[in-house]
Chain A
């Protein structure tokens, strides 16, 4: 009986130790969060050609082959006689959301204005832009650039090729 009594006490003592150990591990920290849901977007930056028109030219007919406005436009000058000069205007617009800086323009290839079958000096010769478009173009603002092309005296040497193609490019940047 004595041995049984001691054993009966020993068991609850062990259980108590186990309970204390499990209780301590059961607590966890409290936690709350606050969030900032962010959305970032870059600026829209784009120049488009909104108009191409002929200002002056004998019998010259300009044919715009690309729907405008467009970032890439094509135009043809037909029926230009020899030794003639055609003046054009090309209007670009900043349709982006930030100012376009350092706006420049130029002919994109060195052969523009010449029919491949024409000799040098006999085809359509581009001249320098009358108004170099440089500077800042605000969003929504447009810029008119002027161009001139001259046909050679010996235009008939082009073997009947009476059309001339040109390409004008515009470059601008935004940011630092």
Chain B
């Protein structure tokens, strides 16, 4: 008797399982086809402006010296700046405008570095070329010293500015030699301004 009762329960469970399996055949689905792409970070030099050369810093009267830009590459990421014919106290200025050509906001910063000088500067720090930016993101000055590689920045306070996509930023660059320069001042020197746009954490 008990055996039959167990068989009866087993048969009932089997029916339920079969029925359950049959219900699983009715299904409905909804899908989300996702596609993810990263934002682009791009920076371009969009324009330059020659602001002229002056007899000394802060002067309004033109002075000796020549300044010019050349060799902007196709990607607009590199350009050459030439400043020549500088006399003691004279300096030249120019604007460099950069644009965020990417798709996301970027943090923009600038670094000044020297790339050597043609000659050895006198032991006095203020006897050689100086390069400075007045943009506000970097109040930096390079004084070429008598180090073997032509000098290191004595001041480089890097701040960062946020640049939205399509936004532009103009940096003002000055190049000159101080009044205390002399015949011992090297004939030429090279420097690099590196603008970096970054996004992410």
B96 at the interface (CB under 8 A from A): yes
**Stretch from A35-43, A57-65, A76-84, A155-163 at the B interface:** A35-43
Closest residue of chain A to B45, judged by CB?
A34
Q: Which of A27, A39, A97, A176 is close to B81, meaning CB atoms less than 8 Å apart?
A: A39
The distance in angstroms between the C-alpha atoms of A98 and B55, with both chains bound, is 12
By a CB distance below 8 angstroms, the chain A residues around B64 are 43, 98-99, 174-175
The distance in angstroms between the C-alpha atoms of A175 and B189, with both chains bound, is 19
The distance in angstroms between the C-alpha atoms of A33 and B199, with both chains bound, is 12
The distance in angstroms between the C-alpha atoms of A100 and B86, with both chains bound, is 13
Q: Which of B38, B181, B192, B195 is close to A38, meaning CB atoms less than 8 Å apart?
A: B192
Number of A-B contacts (CB under 8 A): 149
Closest residue of chain A to B79, judged by CB?
A36
Given A27-B200, A29-B199, A30-B198, are A97 and B85 also a contact pair (CB < 8 Å)? Answer: yes
Which residues of B62-102 are within 8 A (CB) of A?
Answer: 63-65, 76-90, 96, 98, 102
| B87 pairs with A39, CB closer than 8 A | no
| A29 pairs with B79, CB closer than 8 A | no
The distance in angstroms between the C-alpha atoms of A45 and B87, with both chains bound, is 9
Q: Which of A31, A38, A98, A99 is close to B191, meaning CB atoms less than 8 Å apart?
A: A38
By a CB distance below 8 angstroms, the chain B residues around A43 are 64-65, 84-87
A–B pairs, 11, beta carbons within 8 Å: A29-B199, A32-B41, A32-B106, A35-B79, A36-B45, A40-B84, A41-B85, A41-B188, A42-B187, A99-B64, A176-B56
A-binding residues in B (CB < 8 A): 38-45, 55-56, 63-65, 76-90, 96, 98, 102, 104, 106, 115, 129, 131, 173, 175, 177, 179, 181, 185-201
Query: With contacts A34-B195, A98-B64 known, what are 17 further pairs, Cβ within 8 A?
Result: A28-B200, A31-B41, A31-B196, A32-B77, A32-B197, A33-B43, A33-B194, A34-B43, A35-B193, A36-B78, A38-B82, A40-B175, A41-B83, A42-B129, A42-B185, A174-B88, A175-B88
